[in-house]
Chains A and B, each alone.
Chain A
């Protein structure tokens, strides 16, 4: 079973608006990552936040992490049509391998 669960499953917004996606997970983590996937292609890493961090920024991306609630959010500001993609959160399994648990993803559509 997958540890992370994203919410909402799908999100449609107008260009220029902000998009917020949420992720919940079940067990303790070392870090949480967000990835982007364009239409069935490879995943691209967006940002990593460690368990001792609460917020992190990268360009138009803002990620928050609340370990007490086992949840994270990804905010994309001033969205663009090119942001249309699926977004996945991924948590590490702490097994010593690159075993990431991915959620089912949020499908974001940005309408020009």
Chain B
């Protein structure tokens, strides 16, 4: 059974640029959630994708967008990067849409915005 994998692991961007982060969900999982974790803080929910549609969104602006593909992998896109976007971005998958059980997290993509 393959776990959740994310790429890239680290990347550096400059303010105003755009970034795409990728996530492959665990085998058999059809739901992917994305979280942002700033340094020294707990993760914050960005949004969730279920069957290729956004199914829940946290308090993040529209420049944070995503996609889910038929194989349940997902992308997180962030446009017009700001310094405060520097964080660890975590992808989590689950076999169901609602939080009735655990989430399986990837190792994250650490984004630094200069």
Partner-B contacts on A (CB < 8 A)? 2, 4, 30-31, 33, 35, 40-45, 48, 88, 90, 92-93, 95-105
Contact = CB atoms under 8 A, between A and B. Distances in A.
A10 to B, nearest CB: 11
B98 to A, nearest CB: 6
A100 B103 contact: yes
Interface in B70-114: 88, 90, 92, 94, 97-108, 110
Interface of B: 4, 31, 33, 35, 40-45, 48, 55-56, 58, 88, 90, 92, 94, 97-108, 110
Contact of A40 (B33, B55, B102, B110): B110
B56 A98 contact: yes
A93 B99 CA distance: 9
Contacts, number: 82
B45 A100 contact: yes
Contacts of B58: 99
Given A45-B103, A96-B56, A97-B48, A40 B98 contact: no
Contacts of A88: 42-43
Contact of B97 (A45, A92, A96, A102): A96
Contacts of A45: 102-104
Given A48-B101, A98-B48, A100-B103, 6 more contacts: A42-B107, A43-B105, A96-B97, A98-B33, A99-B99, A102-B35
Nearest to A92: B99
A103 B41 CA distance: 8
